[in-house]
Amino acid sequence: MNPEMAPGDGFFHGYFSELAARLHDAAPDDLETLCRMLTHVRDRQRKVLLAGNGASAAIASHVAVDLTKTAGVRAMTFNEADLITCFGNDYGYENWVAKAVEFYGDPGDAAVLVSSSGRSRNVVVAAERARELGLTVVTLSGFDSDNPLRALGDLNLWVNNRSYNVVESTHQAWLLAVVDRLARHRGAS
């Protein structure tokens, strides 16, 4: 048996305790603010653009589908390989998400931009462009508290952790909790 994986070493207890603690990094008021922002987008018949890289892109896809189907908020991502490779080739990888926001964003839309480190250049540039276009910008990041993405949103949700999986799991939990909150409110109205 591998001594690094000895049963009962407390890894999972510690891991899940840390994850539970990180879920509280976003104040309930901030999550309520996000709900209000998304409700405003829905009520004005606008849409939400979600983007990230890697696992953050997967989270964006999951949340976009659930926002649309469950919460009645039109949402979309830019995860098509042909779009990414075309825009990356034509505009440079650091600009491809910004160009997608530019081509697909409309006045009154919101952009939800996710980067675990808050330093993914293409996501930071997209946040800057979304702000220039007048979109509501929501950022989700982690790692360093002074990461560049965290300074660019109308609402900035930050996870105080340096583990990709903890940060990503927390981002997904927050966003899906918001979807469930919107769905519950929608069903009650």
Domains of the chain: 34-183 (3.40.50.10490)
Chain segment 24-33, per-residue pLDDT in tens:
999 999 999 9
Rounded to 10 deg, the angle between the 28-43 and 164-188 helix axes is: 60
Q: Which residues contact 119 (CB under 8 A, 6 or more apart)?
A: 143, 144, 147, 148, 149
Write down the residue that tokens 């660019």 correspond to.
152
Q: What is the mean pLDDT of the chain?
A: 95
Chain segment 106-154, per-residue pLDDT in tens:
999 999 999 999 999 999 999 999 999 999 999 999 999 999 999 999 9
Inter-CA distances, 105 with 38, 134, 138, 186, Å: 15, 10, 14, 25
What's the pLDDT score for residue 3? 61
Rounded to 10 deg, the angle between the 164-188 and 55-71 helix axes is: 10
pLDDT cut 90: percent of the chain above it? 93
Chain segment 47-105, per-residue pLDDT in tens:
999 999 999 999 999 999 999 999 999 999 999 999 999 999 999 999 999 999 999 99
Q: What is the pTM of this model?
A: 0.94
Give the separation between CA 24 and CA 73, rounded to whole angstroms.
25
Give the separation between CA 22 and CA 38, rounded to whole angstroms.
23
pLDDT exceeds 80 at position 187: no
